[in-house]
């Protein structure tokens, strides 16, 4: 209990700074953020205590036991932080921990940013209440933004707190559970304020490598085959979305009327759907993305894919250049993260295109 209270006070101190620096109109938002996170912390119980409780559901015990194994693997094999994150469990009684609001101008792919203490500026605004997220999203729509509201099953406090395992993702498959834990722990290794694409693409690279190693060490041939198929499907989906996103970028830069841009924008989204259906006819595994395509397509929704995948090839190339050594990989990424943004972007672009080596052993 002492540990939980001290973590709560630490959070209140940080968030009090945010409230003090923020405008009055933001006070309700910060209040819900404080209350929401405190609620998560107070619900957390040590995983071993939950497993030892005879009243704990058998499936939950099995999943939490798997988390213990994944957590140990993450620190031992992936060199991810060895701390108290994901050693406790909290049941929030809802399907998502937060709902993130993404917004982009109607004729631009530049996501709106919100700035906070510690995290810097990020391309989304999170709410612990779906109703409040939808209300805020509607306000942005009235201002002319393309908006997307997505339920989020986990978030990272970047090592400031011991993030618990949540009921919102404990029911995941072993593959998805591993990916989420490795991804969120990666944010505690390297995090660049004001650069969501860098942060999420880096964490995605760690997630991909981590789950590959996990199943290589612990999985069956069938499980490894399923992983390969899933990652291939994800690569096809990401490239499909990014290709049409590039078309939108070119469109928005044209010297034509807004009316014409809107017309061509609608056509590009229609062609994106059509191409997806053609690909799905050839690759049945792409049906996993039916739900994504069932949503209204807009700039903000496409951005949620690009954030996680845009720089993924660059980070995977850096890992390969460092002989798949996670420690050297982290050192290399950390050095790149300290560069000014324009230099950082240039390095990653050059690495992805095979024009530059970033082998930490040679630096």
The DSSP code sequence of 165-181 is EEHHHHTS-HHHHHHHH
CA–CA separation, 36 and 90 (whole Å) = 13
pLDDT band at 87 (very low <50, low <70, confident <90, very high): very high
Q: Give the pLDDT confidence of 180-234 residue by residue, as tens digits.
A: 999 999 999 999 998 999 999 999 999 999 999 999 998 888 888 888 888 899 9
Instruction: Kindly state the tokens that stand for 95.
Output: 């399907």
Instruction: Kindly state the tokens that stand for 281.
Output: 């006819």
Is the pTM higher than 0.75? The answer reads: yes
β-strands 165-166, 88-90 pairing: parallel
Nearest to 157 by CA among 49, 14, 30, 28: 14
SS3 150: strand
State which H helix or E strand residue 69 sits in: helix 58-77
pLDDT band at 1 (very low <50, low <70, confident <90, very high): very low
Mean pLDDT of the region 126-145: 96
> Is residue 285 predicted with pLDDT exceeding 90?
no
Q: Give the pLDDT confidence of 92-123 residue by residue, as tens digits.
A: 999 999 999 999 999 999 999 988 766 678 88
Per-residue model confidence (pLDDT) at position 17? 43
Terminal Cα distance for the chain, rounded: 46
Per-residue model confidence (pLDDT) at position 360? 58
Residue pair 201/314 in contact (Cβ under 8 Å)? The answer is yes
State which H helix or E strand residue 98 sits in: strand 98-105
Instruction: Kindly state the tokens that stand for 298.
Output: 């807009």
SS3 201: helix
Nearest to 241 by CA among 193, 145, 327, 312: 312
Per-residue model confidence (pLDDT) at position 112? 94
Count Cβ atoms below 10 Å from residue 220 Cβ, excluding itself.
9
Nearest to 158 by CA among 182, 189, 128: 189
How many C-alpha atoms does 227 have within 13 Å on its Cβ side?
A: 24
Helix axes 174-186, 196-218, angle to 10 degrees: 140
CA–CA separation, 238 and 240 (whole Å) = 5
Query: What residues contact residue 271 under an 8 Å CB cut-off, 6+ apart?
Result: 244
139 DSSP assignment = H
Per-residue model confidence (pLDDT) at position 361? 56
């Amino acid at each position: 209990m002492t540990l939980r209270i001290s973590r709560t006070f630490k959070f209140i101190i940080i968030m009090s700074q945010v409230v003090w620096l923020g405008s009055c109109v933001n006070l309700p938002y910060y209040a819900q953020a404080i209350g929401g996170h405190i609620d998560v912390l107070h619900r957390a119980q040590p995983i071993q205590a939950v497993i030892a409780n005879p009243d704990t559901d058998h499936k939950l015990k099995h999943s939490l036991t798997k988390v213990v194994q994944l957590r140990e693997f993450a620190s031992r094999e992936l060199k991810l932080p060895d701390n108290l994150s994901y050693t406790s469990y909290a049941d929030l009684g809802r399907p998502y921990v937060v709902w993130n609001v993404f917004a982009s101008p109607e004729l631009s792919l530049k996501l709106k940013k919100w700035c906070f203490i510690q995290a810097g500026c990020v391309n989304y605004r999170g709410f612990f209440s779906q109703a409040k997220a939808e209300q805020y999203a509607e306000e942005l729509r009235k201002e002319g933004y393309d908006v997307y509201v997505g339920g989020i099953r986990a978030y990272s406090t970047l090592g400031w707190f011991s993030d618990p395992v949540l009921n919102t993702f404990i029911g995941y498959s072993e593959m998805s559970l591993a990916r989420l834990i490795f991804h969120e722990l990666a944010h505690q290794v390297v995090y660049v304020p004001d650069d969501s694409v860098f942060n999420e693409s880096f964490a995605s690279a760690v997630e991909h490598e981590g789950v590959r190693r996990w199943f290589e060490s612990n999985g069956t041939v069938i499980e490894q085959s399923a992983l390969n198929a899933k990652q291939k499907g994800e690569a096809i989906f990401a490239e499909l979305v990014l290709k049409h996103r590039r078309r939108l970028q070119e469109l928005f830069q044209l010297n034509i009327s807004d009316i014409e841009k809107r017309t061509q924008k609608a056509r590009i989204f229609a062609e994106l759907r059509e191409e997806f259906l053609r690909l799905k006819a050839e690759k049945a595994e792409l049906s996993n993305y039916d739900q994504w395509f069932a949503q209204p397509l807009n700039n903000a929704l496409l951005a949620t894919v690009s954030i996680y995948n845009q720089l993924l090839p660059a980070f995977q190339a850096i890992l390969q250049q460092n002989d798949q050594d996670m420690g050297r990989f982290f050192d290399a990424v950390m050095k790149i993260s300290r560069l000014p943004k324009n230099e950082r972007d240039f390095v990653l672009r050059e690495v992805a295109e095979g024009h530059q080596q970033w082998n930490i052993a040679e630096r």
